[in-house]
Chains A and B, each alone.
Chain A
Amino acid sequence: MARDAGKEAEEEGGEFADFLADVSKEIAQRVESLDKKATPAAAPKKKTPIAADAGVIVEWPNVADRMIEDIR
């Protein structure tokens, strides 16, 4: 399994290892922030507002007319 270069750098020591550790840290921070931008948290679904008279058919005559028309 491939090991992360940053972890390897910590074990290596020396100038190059310090450099690699710093670069790894920088990339990790950047990638993390970019990933957050790329996949923003799903926005909460907007609920359809329910009117106070929900469930009450207020245009009854029109609805009845359309039903009669459909039957014809």
Chain B
Amino acid sequence: MSVVNYGTREITCKIVYYGPGRSGKTTNLQHVYSQLPEERKGKMVSLATETDRTLFFDFLPLDLGTISGFATRFQLYTVPGQVYYAATRKLVLQGVDGVVFVADSQSRQLAENIESLQDLHANLADEGHDPRTIPLVMQYNKRDLPAAEISSIEDLDEVLNFRGVPHYAAAAIAGKGVFETLRSISTLVLSRLSAPATKGA
């Protein structure tokens, strides 16, 4: 996806929230949506099963208005975390500009986090992205759970964050760390704003 188009004076960023099932990806988007001023609230598309787990994906368009002469839009997506929705995850990753990996801090979920991260890397590579360079931010969610149930930030970082990208502790259900994460990935994506010569790339 083109981040910046000088011809049409538009900036469009596609950010995908990735991670294992029940790690809190949808909760992140719901918190962002809840904080939008009424006049900016578009439609958050959320397709979920009867048990509230994301069946297809969530989509939240953020129309930020005109910034420095550019109509600026952020598109936030989540993928279904469950293993059997592999095709959907690949589809959602098409044209991605940046990824937030939402890890579940619970110690018993460590294997699922690793599996999901490996899945992310494989899918990014399949879509022609370099998993080593694409803008990425780690979010260690559910920090509000009892300390005995969750891994330390250091342990999670050591196992999951081998690229050394920015990481954030979060309790998305309470809105903690949600906007810090979004701000961080947005800055990383915008730092890739390309020169006019490469417009439409």
Contact = CB atoms under 8 A, between A and B. Distances in A.
A7 to B, nearest CB: 10
Interface stretch (B47-55, B67-75, B97-105, B126-134): B67-75
A4 B66 contact: yes
B183 A38 contact: no
Contacts of B56: none
B68 A24 contact: yes
Contact of B190 (A3, A5, A23, A32): A23
Contact of A27 (B6, B11, B36): B11
A66 interface: no
Contacts of A8: 65
B185 to A, nearest CB: 11
Contacts of A27: 11, 67-68, 70, 72, 190, 193
Contacts, number: 80
Interface residues of A, number: 26
A2 B64 CA distance: 13
B35 interface: yes
B80 to A, nearest CB: 26
Interface string A1-38: 01111101000101111111011101110111010011
A23 B196 CA distance: 20
A45 B74 CA distance: 44
Interface of A: 2-6, 8, 12, 14-20, 22-24, 26-28, 30-32, 34, 37-38
A-B pairs with the 5 shortest C-beta distances? A5-B65, A30-B193, A16-B35, A31-B68, A28-B68
6 contacts: A4-B68, A12-B37, A14-B35, A18-B183, A34-B196, A38-B6
